């Protein structure tokens, strides 16, 4: 059963996944933390590309798997982290994650499930599931009042479209 504050959306193309991300980026505020979880190919980077667009970022956004973190300037700076290569939470401490999380930008973490306990309790958990060719089930679970407000806004937007 889905918690009442949770929003579940099915997208049917990369463009729809990016449009959801763009809505998230457009509503993002300084200090926001989005934790993305999902299997390889579930659409995490595609969603981040949309978030970047919503933040007014013009440059291409790719998964920072090998560098672990990239910064993209826009309306707010996007701190894009990828924990795919990390073995666990201990390695995360060496990254200086607090600098990103406590910054004035928006921190988006792919493969956050590798170290969920290392993150602050208030965040937006985004779970992506590959359903069929190009379809994704995306579950947004707000943790804290800021993120409940964000998801409520997205629910209203979804009803209007």
Average pLDDT, the chain: 88
DSSP state of 74: S
* Residue 73, token pair as written in the block: 């300037």
Higher pLDDT, 95 or 135: 135
Estimate the share of the chain in helix, then strand, then coil, as percent rounded to the nearest 5: 35, 25, 40
Instruction: Summarize the confidence of residues 151-159 as an average pLDDT.
Output: 81
Helix 14-27 × helix 145-160 angle, to 10°: 130
pLDDT band for 68, please (50, 70, 90 cuts). Answer: confident
Quote the CA–CA distance of 101 and 27 in Å, as a whole number: 17
Q: Which among 54, 58, 44, 56 is positioned nearest to 24, based on CA atoms?
A: 54
The three-point CA angle 4-134-67 to 5° equals 85
Contact 42, 25 (CB under 8 A): no
pLDDT digits (tens, 9 = 90+) for 100-145: 888 889 999 999 998 888 889 999 999 999 998 889 999 999 999 9
Contact 21, 49 (CB under 8 A): yes
In this predicted structure, the answer to whether residue 1 has a pLDDT above a threshold of 50 is no
Task: Classify domain 9-133 at the CATH topology level.
Answer: Rossmann fold (3.40.50)
Give residue for tokens 């798997």: 65
Give residue for tokens 């988006």: 108
pLDDT digits (tens, 9 = 90+) for 11-40: 999 999 999 999 999 999 999 999 999 999
Quote the CA–CA distance of 58 and 100 in Å, as a whole number: 21
* Residue 138, token pair as written in the block: 């995306």
Domain ranges of the chain: 9-133
Please report the pLDDT score of residue 100 as a whole number.
80
* Residue 90, token pair as written in the block: 């201990």
Q: Which residues pair with 39 in a beta bridge?
A: none
Residue 101, classed as helix, strand or coil, is helix
pLDDT band for 65, please (50, 70, 90 cuts). Answer: low
């Amino acid at each position: 059963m889905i918690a009442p504050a949770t929003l579940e959306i099915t997208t049917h193309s990369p463009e729809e996944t990016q449009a959801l991300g763009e809505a998230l980026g457009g509503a993002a505020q300084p200090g926001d933390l989005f934790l993305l979880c999902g299997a390889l190919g579930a659409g995490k980077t595609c969603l981040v590309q949309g978030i970047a667009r919503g933040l007014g970022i013009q440059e291409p956004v790719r998964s920072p798997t090998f560098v672990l973190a990239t910064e993209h300037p826009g309306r707010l700076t996007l701190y894009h982290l990828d924990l795919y290569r990390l073995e666990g939470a201990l390695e995360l401490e060496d990254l200086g994650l607090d600098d990103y999380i406590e910054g004035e930008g928006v921190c988006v973490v792919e493969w956050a499930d590798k170290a969920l306990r290392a993150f602050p309790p208030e965040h937006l958990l985004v779970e992506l599931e590959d359903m069929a060719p190009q379809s994704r089930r995306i579950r947004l679970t707000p943790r804290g009042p800021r993120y409940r407000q964000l998801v409520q806004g997205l629910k209203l937007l979804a009803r209007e479209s």
